[in-house]
Structure 1
């Protein structure tokens, strides 16, 4: 069960959340650019690309921020229900069972009954939780942070369209930038998740390369 106390404000978004959101933003931007490249056969208007890519990821960021808030309400509500079930259990055995069910199975299997009882007693001493889960300041900051991450991840991909006058060349450079960023994010994702970082990075590159390859084959 997650801690009932709040995580410090500076840790609103953990590294995996930041990496994942950047990855999603990159994939969204690359998908949009590839689709537009196919639809226009490479004859892309820079203004169309900028507005479309930035608008697409801004919309995605807003949606993802909203989903983040829903997830926080769900997590906090689940913790509240668990704490209430422990405090209102008819006997200590039932309370320990509720507590063990809320813990990760690997951890629960290692804890002896006396440790579970100690945890139950500590939780029993906590004040009665609120009836309804509420969003905290840090939740709103996290949602805004996810939105900004999704939006900001688009800029490196669209910069070639600002710096290069040849739209088709800019499209190719944009593909290369996106794939390089996919590798970096995939590497970081693998490192943080316990996977082989190079394998995770190359897998992301393979995904991006396949997306770009199909696009070029279709005329983009």
Structure 2
């Protein structure tokens, strides 16, 4: 597929990201924090040859369960949001009173955009909706939604490995704990760095901020019995 520019040139159609940078970073960090709750209790693990193996399995099993739950809730949120937008579109399309249709569109705007959008802009949207013949009768999930859910599941599960894998491959628990914490801090920094670049808020500053947030959040989770 391609699009035609005003100058008449064709450009390849840009593929829309199923999960944006914020989604990917948040889900990866969620997996890290879940696994960290097990590593934070490493001193409570009984000594033995299979102590690290048991910890890895416990963290991996937990993230499998939460990854599945998070993926399913992603589908639920997606369907609910799509249903709400479709409901608005159908209501505007069926509304005979143009002023009421424009009011419905304005009520759906976020407060930050309300002052920036004029009634004339909303009227053009209302007119296009009134002429549209492709609105589906109900909201439904599409292939990309399931791909996104799979991506969320994998990100949460992958968050297990940098935290818990050292306990599986390093026999000394103290050394494994140092390696686990080092890897976790590096990934948290990389995650914050990515968010900083994405938002334009300063990549390095955001990287260190993410480390601080991750440490504090993990301490809170463990203190609350997580």
Distance in 1 between residues matched to 2:207 and 2:201, nearest whole Å: 10
The structure showing larger relative contact order (alpha-carbon pairs under 8 Å, at least 6 residues apart) is: 1
Could you say which residue in structure 2 is the equivalent of 1:38?
43
Pairing 1:99–2:69 present = no
- Secondary structure at the aligned position of 1:11 is classed as coil
Pairing 1:164–2:176 present = no
Could you say which residue in structure 2 is the equivalent of 1:144?
150
Q: How do 1:117-128 and structure 2 match up within 5 A?
A: 117-127=123-133
Pairing 1:188–2:194 present = yes
Could you say which residue in structure 2 is the equivalent of 1:217?
none
Distance in 2 between residues matched to 1:167 and 1:58, nearest whole Å: 24
Q: CA RMSD in A?
A: 2.6
Could you say which residue in structure 2 is the equivalent of 1:154?
160
Relative distance call for 1:32 and 1:162 in structure 2 (3 A) is closer
Structure 2: which 5+ residue stretches go unaligned?
1-13, 221-226
What is the TM-score when the length of structure 2 is the normalising length?
0.80
- Secondary structure at the aligned position of 2:165 is classed as helix
Could you say which residue in structure 1 is the equivalent of 2:31?
25
As a proportion of its length, which structure holds more helix?
Answer: 1
Relative distance call for 1:135 and 1:211 in structure 2 (3 A) is closer
Note the C-alpha offset of 1:212.
7.5
Q: Which 10-residue stretch deviates more, 20-29 or 156-165?
A: 156-165
Contact 2:45-2:51 within 8 A present in 1 as well: no
Structure 1: which 5+ residue stretches go unaligned?
1-7, 215-220
Could you say which residue in structure 1 is the equivalent of 2:62?
56
What is the TM-score when the length of structure 1 is the normalising length?
0.82
- Secondary structure at the aligned position of 1:110 is classed as coil
